[in-house]
């Protein structure tokens, strides 16, 4: 049995449905049940298991229409009262939260105390902790629901300005993003003036109350951080200058892998390289990146697994995408957003199993030939190793 990804569903949102506002982002919950579609003025939440809308544009933003990040947290057995919740961070520093539980739905907006500068993005440390990158600082916030069922984010503290590094003046560095490596480890990236490179500081949170954190290391990457893998302890970087996605070990300034999106034609040939925009870790063994009219799936070792070509949009450019995949059973979803002048389209891909007898004959022959070649190569290596052994013994 062979598994591959197929385009399975397309949701179209007209400008009439969105009241003329732009669709900003899409996000899948880790368990694949909830799909959030973020519009400039509200959130549209879809129950993937029941194919119904939980809240159709009822969760509205007050004042701000500039969402900078939207992400789900996973269910936690330690906090059953919280369940799954969606965190939307806006430029005006307001955080909107939608909590979905077995007993209902709670939603609301909250501006943390002391947060007055522009927010850039947020990342999840645990089911109750997030880190928000602002233009002037990175703040650690803790989630709770008070006795009146109001959502509150407590500001536990801020990361201090990093020390000087690599001859760059700290005051000249601008915060770009924040990413979680573990429950007590963060990566904060800073743009270098006049260049395409990024300085990445690794922070370790020593305690939450009182808040205390220290720098563990600093490294430089070529491009901007697109995603971070906790399992691999690795960073995925988008390098627009080289037109490639690059994999770095956390703390290293040298990339280990390079992934270049190329279009696959009808003959299965991968041709001219395409522009890059964003990429993510599908799991510890595979990378997913955007191209033009397609997504590209690679193995971690840089070999292309599949070109996910959009059925009706050969020149479509993805503005946001998300995934939920369980590698142990090889089942998952990928969702991506493409905006058009008169509508937005949310395209979903799903894993399917294909029997070998259903494959085209030439693909089956190639697959069988590849297996035979691997067997021949391994046999030749074994014979060579045994010959060397006999020579040494004699």
Whole-number Å distance between alpha carbons of 98 and 124: 15
- The closest alpha carbon to 43, from 62, 374, 104, belongs to 62
Residues 142-165 have a mean pLDDT of 82
Q: Is the pLDDT at 188 greater than 80, yes or no?
A: yes
* Buried/exposed 367-393: b ≥16 CB within 10 Å, e otherwise: eeeeeeeeeeeeeeeeeeeeeeeeeee
Neighbours of 43 (CB within 10 A): 26
Q: For 308-341, how does the pLDDT look when each residue is reduced to its tens digit (9 = 90+)?
A: 888 888 888 899 999 999 888 888 999 999 998 8
pLDDT, the chain, mean: 78
Confidence at 211, pLDDT banded by 50, 70, 90:
very high
Residues 345-356 have a mean pLDDT of 79
Share of the chain above pLDDT 90, in %: 31
Q: Is the pLDDT at 142 greater than 80, yes or no?
A: yes
Please report the pLDDT score of residue 367 as a whole number. Answer: 40
196 vs 382 pLDDT, higher one: 196
Please report the pLDDT score of residue 238 as a whole number. Answer: 95
Q: Residue 55: is it exposed, middle or buried by C-beta count within 10 angstroms (0-12/13-18/19+)? A: middle
Which of helix, strand or coil describes residue 336?
Answer: strand
Whole-number Å distance between alpha carbons of 208 and 228: 23
Whole-number Å distance between alpha carbons of 243 and 275: 6
Quick one: tokens of 296?
A: 């590209």
Strand partners, 262: 273
User: For the chain, what's the residue count?
Assistant: 394
252 vs 384 pLDDT, higher one: 252
pTM: 0.81
Q: For 352-365, how does the pLDDT look when each residue is reduced to its tens digit (9 = 90+)?
A: 875 544 444 333 33
| C-beta separation of 26 from 322 below 8 A | yes
Q: Is the pLDDT at 233 greater than 60, yes or no?
A: yes
Whole-number Å distance between alpha carbons of 258 and 180: 22
Q: Is the pLDDT at 370 greater than 80, yes or no?
A: no
Q: Is the pLDDT at 226 greater than 60, yes or no?
A: yes
């Amino acid at each position: 049995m062979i598994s591959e990804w197929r385009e399975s569903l397309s949701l179209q949102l007209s400008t009439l449905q969105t009241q003329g506002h732009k669709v900003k982002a899409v996000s899948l919950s880790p368990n694949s049940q909830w799909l959030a579609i973020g519009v400039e003025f509200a959130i549209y939440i879809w129950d993937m298991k029941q194919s119904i809308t939980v809240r159709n544009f009822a969760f509205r933003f007050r004042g701000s229409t500039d969402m900078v990040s939207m992400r789900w947290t996973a269910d936690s057995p330690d906090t059953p009262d919280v369940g799954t919740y969606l965190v939307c961070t806006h430029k005006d520093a307001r955080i909107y939260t939608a909590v979905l539980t077995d007993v209902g739905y709670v939603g609301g907006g909250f501006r943390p105390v002391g947060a007055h500068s522009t927010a850039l993005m947020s990342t999840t440390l645990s089911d109750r902790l997030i880190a928000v990158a602002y233009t002037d600082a990175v703040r650690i916030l803790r989630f709770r629901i008070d006795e009146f069922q109001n959502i509150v984010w407590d500001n536990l503290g801020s990361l201090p300005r990093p020390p000087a590094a690599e001859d760059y003046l700290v005051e000249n560095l601008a915060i770009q993003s924040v990413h979680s490596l573990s429950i007590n480890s963060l990566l904060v990236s800073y743009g270098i003036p006049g260049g395409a490179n990024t300085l990445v500081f690794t922070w370790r949170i020593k305690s939450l109350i009182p808040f205390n954190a220290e720098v563990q290391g600093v490294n430089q990457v070529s491009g901007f951080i697109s995603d971070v893998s906790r399992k691999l302890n690795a960073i995925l970087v988008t390098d627009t200058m080289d037109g490639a996605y690059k994999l770095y070990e956390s703390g290293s300034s040298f990339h280990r892998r390079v992934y270049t999106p190329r279009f696959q034609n009808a003959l299965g040939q991968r041709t001219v390289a395409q522009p890059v925009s964003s990429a993510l870790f599908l799991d510890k063994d595979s990378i997913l990146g955007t191209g033009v009219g397609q997504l590209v799936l690679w193995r971690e070792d840089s070999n292309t697994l599949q070109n996910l070509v959009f059925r009706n949009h050969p020149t479509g450019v993805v503005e946001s995408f998300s995934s939920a995949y369980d590698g142990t059973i090889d089942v998952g979803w990928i969702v991506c957003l493409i905006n058009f002048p008169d509508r937005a389209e949310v395209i979903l891909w799903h894993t399917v199993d294909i029997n070998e007898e259903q494959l085209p004959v030439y693909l089956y022959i190639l697959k069988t030939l590849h297996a035979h070649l691997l067997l021949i190569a391994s046999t030749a290596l074994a014979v060579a190793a045994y010959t060397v052994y006999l020579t040494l013994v004699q």
